[in-house]
Structure 1
Amino acid sequence: MQKLVNKSLCLWLLLLPAGQLVAMDLLVTGEDSKPLATVMVTQRLVTAPVLDLSDDGYPPNGVGNVAALESTRFSNEQGLVSFPDGGDMYRYRLRKPGYKDLHSPGADNLAELQMAREFDPLVLAAQKPSNVWLSQLDIGGGPELRKHFFLNCAFCHQQASPFMRVERSPAEWLDVIERMGGYGARIADDLKQPLAEGLASGFAKLNASFDTLPAPREWDAELAAASYREWPIGDGFSQMHDFILHPNGMVYVGDNLQDRIYEVNPITGEYTVYKVPHDENDELGGFLGNRFKSYGKVNNYVGVHSFAVSPKDGHIFITPSMQRALLEFDPHSKTFTRHPMKKGFYPHTIRTDAQDRVWFTLALSSQIAMFDRVTNVFTYYDIPARSFKEWLTIKLLPVIFFINPEYRPMPSVDRKSSGLPMPYGIDVAPDGRVWFARLYANDIGYIDPQSGELAMIDVTVNGPRRLRVDADNKVWMVAFQDGLVAKYDPDSGVLSKYPLPLRSEIPYALNVDRERRAVWVNGNQSDTILRFDIDTETWQVYPMSRQRTFTRDIEIAEDGSVFTSNSHFPSWQIEDAQPTLIHIQPYSQ
């Protein structure tokens, strides 16, 4: 009887005049013609807008383009998916674990799409996200080496993707480790050889036993009420690192490797690119030198990193990680202002407070900086060093960075990353305190702007990265190596831990929806974004449309939807080799 109903529904959809279709209605079935639920259906234009990419493959400064919008939805229990009908010709890609990907030809209207089971064990294994592979990777050395590996080798790209699963000899892995050290990884000197040997043997065993991989987490039926929009921007040599959702409705995305800012209209898909200016005497790579010589196409004199918006005039403040400066962008006049700094190295995460002061971390010099817009004066807060060696290393930074990068001495690296505690995430609490986390020191701290007090608090989590403060002044942070999020209550001093519902996930950042009491988490190994309900302590997981999706931040819109960007580095490892800006409309509001 069910089969007859399904065929009748399909026939009805086929016979219905196109003009009477409610949006673009699809019926997804299996080989038995029964409805298939939780199928990810991605709609793409058959003919994409023509782009002006005449500036070395990118849009020229100030020139407008239109991104080819991609939409993704999930079939419900009846196998139905509905897309708004924009009057264009579309093609569709259907994806569901355990089934063959289905690509439909372009058509005005589609009724039934039938998916076939996948039985090839190698293809089934390849469908599983990197975190599943990573969960079975045995590199030896015990938990300490594994956590050290996670901390230093998972902050740019997925670690067990097809690109990383290529079998290499210990010597080849050692070469990779040394090269990644130039990019910023901090593998301890005495762990480099054990890690190289462990990766060589571990991936060889993993590739030989792919058919024993565990199943990934199943997609939730509630995803049928969710919808995604995605805008391809940049190319395989971009790194869409951070972004900001502006009160003017635009989203501003920074291309860290190409020193460009994308101003995207999420309603129309129109976007304009603005090149970030640099001084004539600036060198490629700034004070760090050109670390990406082997990468190919780079233009990072500045290194666009993080964004914050002034509550006073809407100006956007940007940390240029490769410069000793703070950048200001006026979204009205489209002009940049550079505020030079006399102290500090590596401007990192940034926030503004209610008094229109700009706060940001200085990751290499272990400081917090505050820029007062009224006086145009920087104030620097030195974070206490963990040892004399660390204090001395930090004090010597101006001398070290004065040396030509080609001949600059590289200090030895121990397991505690002495000399580089790396203040990373930062946020301003409703009560005015400024909280920050030190990635390599496993602690957090706060500054009281009124008194100037700076206090440090040890936390029993590994790798606190980016943090946010909720409406009750409680501090939420990701534990990068531990696969969990944690909440610190400043009143009671209690730290609560909440494991992620995904195996071997390495969460990069989070943001708190203060109004809806939810925490959004960036999953970077599992191709997901996660939502944690604070009151019910329950998780919702949103799978992304592209394999090898690596996200670093989340912005929350007034309606509770969220934005993120696919910032996998290198971007050519992303499926389709295409970074994107992503908008997720969740099913719970």
Structure 2
Amino acid sequence: MIKRSSQLGALSATLSIALTCFGNGVVAAQPARAESSERNRILSIVDTSGRPVTGAMVTRAVDDRRQITRFTNVSGQIDLGSFDDGPTEVEVRYPGLKSETIALRSDSLRVELEVDTAFLRELPSSEWLALLPEGDMKREFTVNCASCHEISHDRIMLNGKPRSKIEWQAAIAMMRAMDAYDVIPPDFDDEDYAAWLAENLSAERIAKLQPGTRRNPEALANIEITEFTLPESDSLPHDLVNGPDGRIWITAFFYDELWVLSPEAGEIERISVDDNENVNAQPRALKFDDAGMLWLVNGGSESVLRVDPKTGSYETIGVGMYAHSIDVDAAGDIWVNDYFAEAERVAKVSHKTLATSVFPIPASNRPASEGLPLPYGLQVDSEGRLYSTQMAANTLARFDTKSGKGTLFEMPASNSAPRRPGLDNRQGLWIPEFNTGHVAYFDPTSEGFTRIQLGSSSVGLYDIEVNQANNDVWATGSLASTLIRYQSESGRSILTIPLPTEPAYTRHIAVDESNGDVWTAYSSMPAATPKVVRVRFLNQ
């Protein structure tokens, strides 16, 4: 625990870091390098009162393509010898303290980290949005203004001061100018929201913000996070999947490419997936079928691609809609939903003939003044039941792909903004509520919902993926720069994992069920620093 002063946002203690190397009886005749490799290299992090700092991030660069981060344990320690190759320098970080890069030596090293008076720059969006009063206005603002990017220091502060009402109006006007698909509804009152934001994100309220703290330090000490650098800084890596060959396939939204990452080397192969230079294809969702073929949504060109992962060649199938999400049913056919349709609908692509069929699904009948329903996540279970969440309409549509019958369900919480759900191995559907911090579990038998709180209303639950091997539910905390694991079988354990880069706005998760690794990508728009990320448990 770190002692805090009574002054706002300040930590009264500085941080002391002691590095001690303990010999273990190495024979003197051995080369120096061998001697060093057999030592226990324990990095201890304490405050000036001698108390351990738990959950501090310790990061080392593997090369110019990869960085590895681990966390100190409940004793404020980390064994540097557990890092592959033994790092020569590491960066140490903890919320509210200035980061420090430490050159490691064999003798004792003691470093004091000063209080970071500029900690607001590293504070995630969830902390800033917590200043906004709960209610419909906050939910409407979150779903319309934070559904593509973070809202933290650089979007709230202007020239060192909180935005005024006029400056917020200008920011909203700029956002509307970028809204090519009219996602922001007509009844979103720019002037009212500008005044509300200026009032609640005032200097007085911002002065109450404090640095965050780490939860579950004992569990964090068992986690390793690897960040992989991407070829382009403004790429928007939208979705990713684990390929049959162990590589990670990533959609580069702004570059009309697939990027294929080889994790062991950190190398990336680039594959173009747009043959029309006049159209931004906007590749987004993707899925491998059981035969090993890759199916890809190109929203901007209203198409689905069948990609041969061995050659990179592809076939383009027009679907006549800007598809958002994709899934493959038990028969091998491909399903997508129409993101910008006024009335909800889905399309099926036959995996045999590549013929496309379009089907209406139960409509939310949303008034035009409230904008589009925005069909978002899509899943098809093993019984052929298709589920589509409507983010703006706050509904769940179920469509029987065999009979053509459909049912519409209202989400259990108002304006919860359901996004990208995941199915467990019992056909249960786990739906992230972007506006509430809850996940809604839908039981297909009882047709009822159960809500579980995973974080604050501002955490920004975006995507859910369920590990089919153990039914662990993984969710992206997009506005908190976290990943969250909920162990649904026990119904008790919630683990929040902070990600090393801020902002870490994540849209999609892939779980490697063979080893438990979890993959995601930082994909804020407008662009922040994009990376692909692997979270690994060290005891698995």
**Given the alignment of the two structures, is residue 225 of structure 1 paired with residue 222 of structure 2, yes or no?**
yes
Q: Scaled by the length of structure 1, what TM-score is found?
A: 0.79
- Counterparts in 2 of 1:80 and 1:18: CA distance versus 1, 3 Å: farther
Deviation at 1:235, TM superposition (A): 3.2
1:145 to 124, 137, 145: 137
**8 Å Cα contact 1:369-1:380 kept in structure 2:** yes
Give the partner amino acid of 2:495. Answer: Q
1:44: which partner in 2? 61
**8 Å Cα contact 2:236-2:252 kept in structure 1:** yes
In 2, the alpha carbon distance for the partners of 1:331 and 1:23 equals 44
Deviation at 1:158, TM superposition (A): 1.1
1:251: which partner in 2? 248
**Given the alignment of the two structures, is residue 498 of structure 1 paired with residue 452 of structure 2, yes or no?**
yes
**8 Å Cα contact 2:441-2:450 kept in structure 1:** yes
**8 Å Cα contact 2:18-2:111 kept in structure 1:** no
In 2, the alpha carbon distance for the partners of 1:445 and 1:437 equals 6
CA deviations 1:93-148 (Å, max 9, x no partner) are 1111243211124x6x667664535445x33444432211210135xxx7221111
2:494 to 523, 527, 539: 539
- Counterparts in 2 of 1:123 and 1:448: CA distance versus 1, 3 Å: same
**Given the alignment of the two structures, is residue 241 of structure 1 paired with residue 193 of structure 2, yes or no?**
no
Instruction: Kindly report the root-mean-square deviation, in angstroms, between the aligned alpha carbons of the 2 structures.
Output: 2.8
Q: Secondary structure at the match of 1:307?
A: strand
Deviation at 1:35, TM superposition (A): 5.0
Q: How does 1:187-586 map to 2 (within 5 A)?
A: 187-189=185-187, 191-203=189-201, 205=202, 207-214=203-210, 216-221=212-217, 222-279=219-276, 282-283=278-279, 301-312=280-291, 314-341=292-319, 343=320, 345-365=321-341, 366-387=344-365, 414=369, 416-417=370-371, 420-461=372-413, 462-502=416-456, 504-537=458-491, 538-557=493-512, 558-571=514-527, 573=528, 578-586=529-537
In 2, the alpha carbon distance for the partners of 1:530 and 1:555 equals 13
In 2, the alpha carbon distance for the partners of 1:133 and 1:8 equals 34
Unpaired segments of 5 or more residues in structure 2? 1-15, 27-31
Give the partner amino acid of 1:242. Answer: D
How many residues align? The count is: 504
2:4: which partner in 1? none
In 1, the alpha carbon distance for the partners of 2:112 and 2:24 equals 21
- Counterparts in 2 of 1:518 and 1:579: CA distance versus 1, 3 Å: same
When structure 1 is superposed on structure 2, of 214-223 and 525-534 the one drifting more is 214-223
Deviation at 1:330, TM superposition (A): 1.0
Q: Scaled by the length of structure 2, what TM-score is found?
A: 0.86
1:19: which partner in 2? 34
Unpaired segments of 5 or more residues in structure 1? 1-5, 49-67, 284-300, 391-412
In 1, the alpha carbon distance for the partners of 2:84 and 2:46 equals 28
**8 Å Cα contact 1:73-1:81 kept in structure 2:** no
1:131: which partner in 2? 126
**8 Å Cα contact 1:251-1:266 kept in structure 2:** yes
Deviation at 1:192, TM superposition (A): 1.4
**8 Å Cα contact 2:123-2:152 kept in structure 1:** no
Give the partner amino acid of 1:12. Answer: F
CA deviations 1:447-492 (Å, max 9, x no partner) are 2222122222222232111111111111110111112111011211
In 1, the alpha carbon distance for the partners of 2:39 and 2:156 equals 42
Identity of aligned residues (%): 22
In 1, the alpha carbon distance for the partners of 2:127 and 2:108 equals 32
In 2, the alpha carbon distance for the partners of 1:151 and 1:331 equals 35
In 2, the alpha carbon distance for the partners of 1:262 and 1:231 equals 12
- Whichever structure has more helix as a proportion of its residues is 1
Give the partner amino acid of 2:43. Answer: L
In 2, the alpha carbon distance for the partners of 1:432 and 1:475 equals 14
**8 Å Cα contact 2:464-2:508 kept in structure 1:** yes
1:155 to 147, 159, 178: 147
- Counterparts in 2 of 1:85 and 1:228: CA distance versus 1, 3 Å: closer
1:99: which partner in 2? 97
